[in-house]
Amino acid sequence: MPPPASPRPPAAFRFWQTATVAGLFIGYSGYYLCRSNLSVATPLIIGEFGSRGINKEVMGQLASLGVIFYSVGKVINGVIGDLVGGKKVFLLGMAGSVLATVLFGLGAGAAVFFPAWAFNRAVQSMGWGGLVKVTAGWFSYRSYGKIMALLSLSFLFGDVVAKLLLGSLIARGLDWRELFFVAAAVLAVIAVLDVFLVKESPERLGLPAPPVNPDNLFTERGADERAGGLRELLVPYFRSLSFRLVLVMSFGLTAIREAFNFWVPTYLHEVAGMTEGASSQWGSLYPVFGMVSILAAGYLSDTVARGRRGVVILLALLPLTAILVLMSAGLKGAWLPLLFISLAGLLLLGPYSFLAGAMSLDAGGRKGAATAAGLVDAFGYVGGTLSLWLTGLLAQRVGWNGAFLLLSLFAGLTAAAAGVFYWTQERGK
């Protein structure tokens, strides 16, 4: 028998809940203007600096370095978010990314590009953990799947807007430096807006707090908004078999996602023969279909699967593996590459959104949600680092066929991990 419906929250709660969600959505979308810009600008940067040794392999190394700093920052900033509050780290990450993006745009070679991009990704790691921490304070565990599906659309919406906007600016004649300055200016405006929109928690406004998941790893330690220390935050996660399986799935799914996020414009430019601007704009099909995936996955996991998210991940990964194998066979023209990157977005991004979203909220509750998301993302971006380096290496030395064969291997191994998660955690209930 389902639990009785909760009483309707007061009007002030609904107003600030809506305002906070809007601020988080717009803010995290804005982060992607200063993240997707490198992917969009890569063909232009290679064109300008190719004679100085900056090719696909070097750009893959640059992206991998950024992911290393991003993954380390995820753990550190996740813990900080749980200790000091999500809003502070969310806004600080925006400010740091604006600065780093301007510094990159002022650079003229690897000596500036590498440290500027590493700094950018380090401060950008504050964004998602801060978002998850704030969200945990405003929503009941019964709606984690739906609200995290909605907020997960922000990184796809930001990716789409960034690629369409920056691609159109390239088509109008702007160079890659001007793209970086435009991205930084827009994110700065959004950061100022979020100072007023985002509220840390309802308690800070004298409003009641929604219920947390009774099965979270901190249930026996009380329901305080903040944890007491580092040990209290970390130990429960590493004692949990189900959480360790989530880390393994995050490794594989993030490896595939990061490769698609970074290389799709360059892939379409080289394989489909598109211009730099067109490859960026058509590449937005991947995140557009990802939006559909996230909404569908969030709905299915909360309503049809009733919180059993492992089976949804498994059923998506099996056909994704087959698609990546087909892409490794070598494609000609534009239509098949566009079809397959669209299907990849449809099958990949919904399951990916569970890991540092609803699953982290399930595990961490209000006390440890940012740490859970940070650990999941950090482990995932170890896979992302490896994937970006290896796909750049293979694309440069062997061709795109080798790069997609590697991604199909990641998908197959992650499907196996999802199967173990389903049988040990979900079927064992």
Boundaries of every domain in the chain: 12-196+228-426
Evaluated on CA atoms 395, 398, 399, 400, the torsion sign reads: negative
Tell me the C-alpha distance between 31 and 25, whole Å.
10
Q: What is the pLDDT of residue 190?
A: 97
Determine the Cα–Cα distance for residues 369 and 357; give it in Å rounded to an integer: 9
Residue 68, pLDDT score: 87
Counting as low any pLDDT under 50, the low residues of the chain are 1-3, 220-223
Q: Which of 145, 157, 181 is nearest to 24 (CA)?
A: 157
Which residue type does 297 have?
Answer: A
The pLDDT value recorded for residue 222 is 46
Residue 341: what pLDDT?
Answer: 92
Helix (H) or strand (E) segment spanning residue 168: helix 144-171
Residues 117, 104 contacting (CB under 8 angstroms):
yes
d(CA 153, CA 135): 14
pLDDT score of 180: 94
Task: Find the helix or strand (DSSP H, E) in which 355 lies.
Answer: helix 335-355
Q: What's the CATH code, domain 12-196+228-426? A: 1.20.1250.20
Q: Work out the angle at residue 403's Cα, subtended by the Cα atoms of residues 397 and 405, and round it to the nearest 5 degrees.
A: 125
Spatial separation of the C-alpha atoms in residues 148 and 132, rounded to whole Å: 8
pLDDT of residue 77: 86
Q: What is the pLDDT of residue 103?
A: 95
- 41 in Cβ contact with 107 (< 8 Å): no
